[in-house]
Structure 1
């Protein structure tokens, strides 16, 4: 398959945060991703949508390095990271949240954020106990405010609502001045009120931080992004603005249902 003209123009442009060139991922005879060409500008907010089994999470795993690609190339801010391990991609400013919460439930919100900040800091392996002026502690306070958790900063994570725990995951992904974030279904299981708060948090992120969001909640996804890529059977089959995707008859037939017709 030839690369699209759009993707060809992206190469060496320096203005794209994430570029996937003919990326495929096979699990034995199962083709989970097939010749994915995708380009996301620096600072862009992109949604990747599709039904279960479309390949969305596998795509995230390929971008983060959790799964090596079978074929193709991945660039992060112009650098070929295809062969780099996950921790090296993190050091270059890539962050991710997961469908299943990965939090320390017996620790406080503050301590979870502190661990996230320390984990991406140059002195992350230090055994020195933090003091009141530790930059990671100051960052934890700032992050808590950004994700609307300042009032529960010292509460054990296990006592938080599910929505607050998802907010905390976003805060932890923001640790260490990320350049780009992958959000894996952050609205899953949230109440309508919690979804509204999630939208507020995502839209308030600094404009230089781009992200890609996988989300089944179409109302959330289309409100917090400026461009949408639709996946089906391991391929990207349509791209456009939220308005174009929402009004597209083929997309409506496959994913959106009568409520979006």
Structure 2
């Protein structure tokens, strides 16, 4: 039995108590192509996990199944003990699941603060109101706090189109934090960032509130290992290895796979 099979098999028998996110035997097929096969993953509340793997390993498909963008072909997904396998994406968002994407999804013509405010408004009970927010609006105050959390206070009034790419990625994190999320999926947040911007990203992620867990997909292994306390390595749509960052970093098979010793289909 492989290391991954042994670990996921034993984890799957522990029961569902106490997990923020559970994937049990999740698979996803597109016709004859199996993008995911037999994924078992258990993530505890507040846990920070990195998912690594070459292009084609199934990482983004995994995220799409978790968020409800794709329905799994087989298996079950539970979020804080509730079966959300057939829930649409918006129902998962209402339960505290958030996500960022590889390609920025921002309102380029609006300011930084307006983008964060709209994100907060979108997950609030008053999201359909046409009233303009007042300065005392609680959501506006929350938006201001989130802008400060990701170190964008100095550019709060700047149009998104005038931000650097790294600042746009920081803004996405602020928007993902709107509405008191319980768990966040970060899809390659370090892609295209300079070394200085990567260092800032690491500072932001490690400084998030302890109760907010996340999974980060990342090609930059240095970033991924520094912001996570567990690592899942994927290959060809399956879990190849799991372990602590130091264990994964020192694993010869992982090094061979990640450095090009094996290719994904």
Asked if Structure 1 and Structure 2 have the same fold, meaning a TM-score greater than 0.5 normalized by the shorter chain, the answer is: yes
2:247 corresponds in structure 1 to 244
Distance 1:39 1:209 in 2: 16
Q: What is the SS of the residue equivalent to 1:20?
A: strand
2:82 corresponds in structure 1 to 79
Q: What is the SS of the residue equivalent to 2:20?
A: strand
Distance 1:10 1:38 in 2: 12
The aligned runs of 1:6-155 (5 Å cut-off) are 6-11=11-16, 13=17, 15-155=18-158
Distance 1:162 1:51 in 2: 24
- 8 Å CA contact 1:10–1:16 kept in 2: the answer is no
- 8 Å CA contact 1:10–1:39 kept in 2: the answer is no
Distance 1:234 1:45 in 2: 21
Give 1:126 deviation, angstroms.
Answer: 1.0
Give 1:256 deviation, angstroms.
Answer: 3.9
TM, length-normalised to structure 2: 0.95
Q: What is the SS of the residue equivalent to 2:193?
A: coil
Structure 1 runs of 4+ aligned residues shifted over 4 Å read none
Q: What is the SS of the residue equivalent to 1:239?
A: strand
Distance 2:108 2:132 in 1: 21
- CA deviations over 1:153-183 (Å, ceiling 9, x no partner): 0000110000000000000000000000000
Distance 2:137 2:73 in 1: 43
Give 1:130 deviation, angstroms.
Answer: 1.0
Gapped regions of structure 2 (runs ≥ 5): none
Number of aligned residue pairs? 256
Give 1:10 deviation, angstroms.
Answer: 3.3
Distance 1:10 1:117 in 2: 34
Q: What is the SS of the residue equivalent to 1:4?
A: helix
Instruction: Find out whether 1:4 has 2:4 as its counterpart.
Output: no
TM, length-normalised to structure 1: 0.96
Distance 1:241 1:140 in 2: 34
